[in-house]
Structure 1
Amino acid sequence: MSAVPTLVVIGAGPRGTGVIERIAANAGELYGNQRLDIHLVDPYPPGGGRIWRQDQSPLLRMNSMAEDVTMFTDDTVRLDGPVRPGPALHTWAADVREGRVTIDTEPGILEEIRELGGQDFPSRRLQSAYLRWVYEQALAALPPGITVHEHRGHALRVTGPDTGRQRVWLEGRTEPLLADLVVLTLGHLDAEPEPGQQELTAFAARHGLVHLPPDFTADSDLSALPAGEPVIVRGFGLAFIDLMVLLTEGRGGRYENGVYVPSGREPVLHVGSRRGVPYHSKIGYGWEGEPPPAPRYFGPEQAEELLRRTGPLDFRREVWPLIEKELGHVHYHRLFAAHPGRTAVDWAVFEEKYDASEPGSPELDALVSAAVPDPADRLGLTALDHPLDGVRHTSYDTFQDGLRAYITADLERRHDPGHSPDLAVFLGLLSVYGQLIRLGDLGTWWHGYFSYLASGPPGPRLRQLLALSRAGVVRFLGASVTVGTDEERGVFRAGSATVPGERIEARALVEARLPDPSLQHTRSRLLRGLYEDGAAATDTGLLSVDPADGRILDRDGRPHPRRFALGPNTTARSSGAFTRPRTGGPAFGQNDATARTVLAFLRDLSCRGCPST
């Protein structure tokens, strides 16, 4: 074969960087000194991609501490390729400060790096500088025969036969890139509004109102929200936190000694959601002592058993009991090990009976009640998901005090090492996610629940939320929020189960969440084209891929030999963009498996017709 083998990677954010890093790590073993052209396609700069690009507000921060963010493998990661360690974000920042690493970036980011500590929450633009450096290191690690060509623009379509070269059509080019293999490493994408959102947009247009559908908050036109006017906000997760920041500090407000001083340009945000509470605060202390004994009840063996079953898995009946048992075990193991004075039996006795008890059974409830006297020390996963069930207030005014007390208690608990079983559960959740990504699409509830418990905002953001609430800039609506329209009055109306009978009227409505990943509704011409050409999608719209190596599956379950996909739009979605050091990093394992399959395929392709030895 005379032509140089060619790989096209579509998506230059953290996932695309991760695949290139794994190609560099595995090339020596699997590819030797052969030539390979890699074409990297993205409208945004390599490294950060869209979500982590540098040109966004310096007010927007990560929801992870610097010491909890790495792009490098370690010996806890399950992979077949070599481990290539590297610095976590805080270590990299120290290397920059002390001159061991040199980067080319703007002065404001260098100032942030000079001040960054391991337990600080960096800005997204600082993370962008780290990601760019990681990308450059990955390029530098490639053997001399492998060359990366960057293309700034959108990939519009992939065509070509299963058995031949693929054609990747790019925005602004009349001729396609020819590729032996294509790997999609796309992040969060825009979507067409669902029918309910379309109706709200049409209502807003008829009455001159503002409706902002689900979107990446940094890309939304928030200038349409006028100062002093009420705005109904549906969604209380991380997208809301970004919205809150951009509409307060972003409009000139400031905090002085825990008090918010308005600029006068803020709207009044009336926020609610299904749960009616913000995501739990990030835990504000580190782990000490022996690690949680996970996995025990939901590890590779149990995942393999689930995969052998025929038909779709019933998450609640077949998977959730294993998760519940796993998380309960790490919680109580930590309680008995670190806080034995708050337990009433020996751990060995408790563990033996725990092993024999079914999740949710009266026997298990009785065991926990007898062994753990204080209800605050018991794990109630269902109660955590419905914190306002049964809570009722007669007015929104009284509810404000109640929810401020809830947020304050959450902040205190999540920053108190005396409640370190919470951190054990967080680490247990990471272990669970490492097994779940092998099982495909399990519906939307689990991912939302994980984010609510484990991927919430930094403590300082919730303290700001409390200050904004006391200043009257943010008002809480409650749980099971409903939004309706009034054609006669020309307004949106919102109510909740927490304050029955009360309604808030507003001329603006913001959906504070990202669009759900869905092949049927995505605005990505690339993904829509794959779906139209026969790629399989789950009931929730995720692109079906082989969990072993990320190959795209057709509707008969057959893997495409030349197309791969990784990331949040696929059934192999992982728990987040980045990995906490020494926690297994399942995304790293996915990247490694895909890179090794790619290299082996291209090696064999280039050697067809080679003389045998």
Structure 2
Amino acid sequence: MLGRTDGGNCGAGPRGTSVVERLLARRAQSEGGELHIHLIDPFAPGAGHVWRTEQSRLYLMNTQSFFPTLIPDQGVDAPPVAGCTFNQWRAAQLDTPWPGLSEGDQQELAALAANNFPSRAIYGRYLSWCFEQLRENLPAGVTLVNHATEAKRVVRDRTQGGFDVVLLDGGTLRADQVVLALGHVESKLSPAQRGLRDDARQHGLTYLPPAVPNDVDWDQLPAGETVLVRGMGLNFFDVLGQLTEGRGGRFEDTGRPAGEALRYVASGREPVIVGASRRGTPYRAKAELAAYYPQSITLRFLGEDAVAAIRAMGATAGFDHDIWPLLHRDTIWAYYTTLARTRPELVTPELLPELDAMLHTGLDGGSPAWEQELAELLGRHVQHGHVLDLPGLARPLAGQKASDAGLADRGGLPSAGRHFATHEQLDAAVLEYLVADAAGSALGEDDPVKMAIGALNAGRAIVKSLVADRGITQASWLGELRGWFEGFVEGLASGPPAIRVEQLAALVRAGVVHFTGPDPVFRVQHGVFTASSPWVADIPWEARHLIEALAPSNNAQNSASPLLQNLLADGIVRPRMMMASDGGPVVTSGLDVTAPPYRPVDGIGVPVEGLYVLGLQLSSTQWGTAIAAEASAKYRSGYRTVLDADAIAAAILD
């Protein structure tokens, strides 16, 4: 029987609400005593900080309507007491709209299909609805109280047990159990960022540090002036939206093929935007698919049998030696089977049988001899210019290709980059890349490159489970998975909706957006920001405004959160240490925790009973913690967040 229990949940966004959902589901199946749940978050419960419902609808989710869910649809024993997936909710609103919907919500939902990308605002509305449904269906003996403030300290009561949660507004809550579901928190700037910020203050420049885009006042950037934007991942497209469509510009349909389908009509209020990133190009766009993973792609090498064998190795597997050779083969097979199906004139009839036999040899690793033999096979059977170049996909402005079969020089650009005499030449090269990328996305499952990327994305789901099960060595985690593969796969498989790349191409043609070039260097010189690239011979760009188009660093030790800082200072939590390949210790980004239900380990190495961690602060135990739970998930990692929340709920109610 469950006695009287008071629980504090620090963070009431999606993950905090997920714990609440699992507590109510499990509690509904028992005949326990009283359960009192306290949510602590300055933002509205359900939506939380990132998914606030009042934000601009130009901020899109990075997954389609059919993907996300707060309410589990598999993997748990206790059925939900209320709620449904986002896509089910979306469809239901067309017949019976929730009274909490705004006029803008109803307009968006009327045009939103299952394979469209929703705004973050409408997903926040769904999360708010889920929370209301949960609150209206509380089991007997359960109370749910929301505190619109922050927790600044969690103090252990070593005499009576439990915790005192000290609030920013001066109050204190007594809790038997506490869940840390903090999500995105502010982070301290890096030394280089602090230097730019301090120089900007000295010269009266505008420096916008990494931030959640909806927290930024974009009106402070004047029309007509040059604005440097560092980072061309997902936040880059958020910046573009606010400084173009958000200022009255519009996109018109040209009737031309994908890549040239839009024309931008300026409002005259736009700044001149100059994008910069290490690769020199934005993330690749997602393919237009009817499912999250391509339906034509099956992982034959990194399949369940292989995964079971890797798990059986314990924590002795290495990513480069044991995992990448399998995923690499799946990627190669996805590309050439799609190429043979859609462009048979580009390959010989013997390609697929010989390639299949070749891919089943040398499975203990990608040796140079194996890769050379593969290159020779492809040279015989594939027309020149159509051999898969994975490094080239990730570094399209590199002048000297790495091996077509392997991933030589995994860090940075190849030694010989592609040089550009002028900014105009660079812009033209990036535009060519954008047009081709948008055209590939429009082909969906008929584009060989996008299907190779689709195999990488599916493999990433498998790797996530292996990592969470502690299936690779610490040295491999640091030097291989996080060292090269993470950045490589994110640039290919974690990109924006295809419409964003189509819009960017239109902005380049309209002269609104320009680029700096690979390996950009930022300085403050002669009273202004400058940005240059060693691969572009033209004079540096100059501006009075610089935007860091990045989310705040997810690093517990570098966090600016008073709660995390106090937890670390009080020795209640500690960052996880790992051993690098040279035997030296490395302080990692996330907290040190036990196996699920993820209790933090304190300063002297003892698990803290009654305290749990969920979400981004598990970044040293899990890989890819930011994405939402997946409805009808194909792979176990798709509903890992739900399993983690369920494990925490079970421990609390035990």
TM-score normalised according to structure 1 size: 0.88
Give the residue type in structure 2 aligned to 1:512.
A
Corresponding residue for residue 59 of structure 1: 58
Corresponding residue for residue 577 of structure 1: 627
| 464, 472, 476: which one aligns with 1:433 | 464
1:481 Cα deviation from its structure 2 partner = 0.8
For 1:478 and 1:192, how far apart are their aligned partners in 2? Answer: 27
The secondary structure found in structure 1 opposite 2:46 is: coil
1:527 Cα deviation from its structure 2 partner = 0.7
1:152 Cα deviation from its structure 2 partner = 0.9
The secondary structure found in structure 2 opposite 1:202 is: helix
Corresponding residue for residue 278 of structure 2: 274
| 372, 386, 394: which one aligns with 1:385 | 394
| Match status 1:213 vs 2:214 | no
Give the residue type in structure 2 aligned to 1:596.
A
- The correspondence of residues 18-33 of structure 1 with structure 2, limited to 5 A, is 18-28=18-28, 31-33=30-32
| 461, 465, 469: which one aligns with 2:500 | 461
For 2:522 and 2:599, how far apart are their aligned partners in 1? Answer: 41
Corresponding residue for residue 609 of structure 1: none
| Match status 1:237 vs 2:285 | no
| 570, 574, 578: which one aligns with 1:536 | 574
The worse-fitting range, judged by mean Cα deviation, of 293-302 and 131-140 is: 293-302
Corresponding residue for residue 366 of structure 1: 373
For 2:278 and 2:192, how far apart are their aligned partners in 1? Answer: 17
| Match status 1:191 vs 2:187 | yes
For 1:233 and 1:192, how far apart are their aligned partners in 2? Answer: 19
For 1:35 and 1:335, how far apart are their aligned partners in 2? Answer: 57
Q: Deviations over 1:173-225 (max 9, x none)?
A: 33x11111111111111112222222211111111111111111221122221
Q: Does the aligned pair in 1 maintain the 2:236–2:549 contact within 8 Å?
A: yes
Q: Deviations over 1:426-477 (max 9, x none)?
A: 2222222232234487447554444322221111111111111111111011
Corresponding residue for residue 203 of structure 1: 199
For 2:231 and 2:498, how far apart are their aligned partners in 1? Answer: 19
| Match status 1:566 vs 2:614 | yes
Q: Deviations over 1:282-318 (max 9, x none)?
A: 11123335743453586254246352x4xxx9xxxx2
Corresponding residue for residue 116 of structure 1: 112
For 2:351 and 2:80, how far apart are their aligned partners in 1? Answer: 40
Identity %: 31
| 333, 354, 357: which one aligns with 2:359 | 354
| Match status 1:592 vs 2:591 | no
Q: 1:368 to 1:95 in 2, by over 3 A?
A: farther
The secondary structure found in structure 1 opposite 2:551 is: coil
Q: Does the aligned pair in 2 maintain the 1:553–1:559 contact within 8 Å?
A: yes
Q: 1:436 to 1:596 in 2, by over 3 A?
A: closer
Q: 1:161 to 1:366 in 2, by over 3 A?
A: farther
The secondary structure found in structure 1 opposite 2:104 is: helix
The secondary structure found in structure 2 opposite 1:414 is: helix
Corresponding residue for residue 299 of structure 1: 307
How many residues matched? 588
Corresponding residue for residue 15 of structure 1: 15
Q: Does the aligned pair in 1 maintain the 2:615–2:641 contact within 8 Å?
A: no
Give the residue type in structure 2 aligned to 1:122.
P
Q: 1:573 to 1:52 in 2, by over 3 A?
A: farther
1:63 Cα deviation from its structure 2 partner = 1.9
For 2:7 and 2:173, how far apart are their aligned partners in 1? Answer: 10
Q: Deviations over 1:321-365 (max 9, x none)?
A: 444223223334445665455575586764454243222533144
Q: Does the aligned pair in 1 maintain the 2:21–2:80 contact within 8 Å?
A: no
Corresponding residue for residue 5 of structure 2: 5
Q: 1:6 to 1:52 in 2, by over 3 A?
A: same
Q: Does the aligned pair in 2 maintain the 1:344–1:370 contact within 8 Å?
A: no
For 1:265 and 1:7, how far apart are their aligned partners in 2? Answer: 50
1:415 Cα deviation from its structure 2 partner = 2.5
For 1:591 and 1:56, how far apart are their aligned partners in 2? Answer: 26
1:424 Cα deviation from its structure 2 partner = 2.9
Give the residue type in structure 2 aligned to 1:244.
L
Q: Does the aligned pair in 2 maintain the 1:491–1:506 contact within 8 Å?
A: yes
- The correspondence of residues 75-90 of structure 1 with structure 2, limited to 5 A, is 75=74, 77=75, 87-90=84-87
Give the residue type in structure 1 aligned to 2:374.
L
Q: Does the aligned pair in 2 maintain the 1:27–1:599 contact within 8 Å?
A: no
Give the residue type in structure 2 aligned to 1:264.
G
The secondary structure found in structure 1 opposite 2:101 is: coil
Relative contact order: is structure 1 or structure 2 higher (C-alpha 8 Å, sep ≥ 6)? 1
| Match status 1:50 vs 2:49 | yes
Q: 1:448 to 1:84 in 2, by over 3 A?
A: farther
Q: 1:590 to 1:102 in 2, by over 3 A?
A: closer
Q: Deviations over 1:501-536 (max 9, x none)?
A: 631111111111012112232121111111112222
Q: 1:110 to 1:590 in 2, by over 3 A?
A: closer
The worse-fitting range, judged by mean Cα deviation, of 584-593 and 225-234 is: 584-593
The secondary structure found in structure 2 opposite 1:330 is: helix
1:51 Cα deviation from its structure 2 partner = 0.5
Q: Does the aligned pair in 2 maintain the 1:300–1:435 contact within 8 Å?
A: no
Q: Any gaps of 5 or more consecutive residues in structure 2?
A: 254-261, 399-416, 577-586
For 1:348 and 1:180, how far apart are their aligned partners in 2? Answer: 62
TM-score normalised according to structure 2 size: 0.83
Corresponding residue for residue 583 of structure 2: none
Q: Does the aligned pair in 1 maintain the 2:71–2:84 contact within 8 Å?
A: yes
The secondary structure found in structure 1 opposite 2:600 is: strand
Q: Any gaps of 5 or more consecutive residues in structure 1?
A: 604-613
| 269, 279, 296: which one aligns with 1:265 | 269
Corresponding residue for residue 485 of structure 1: 524
Q: 1:369 to 1:167 in 2, by over 3 A?
A: farther
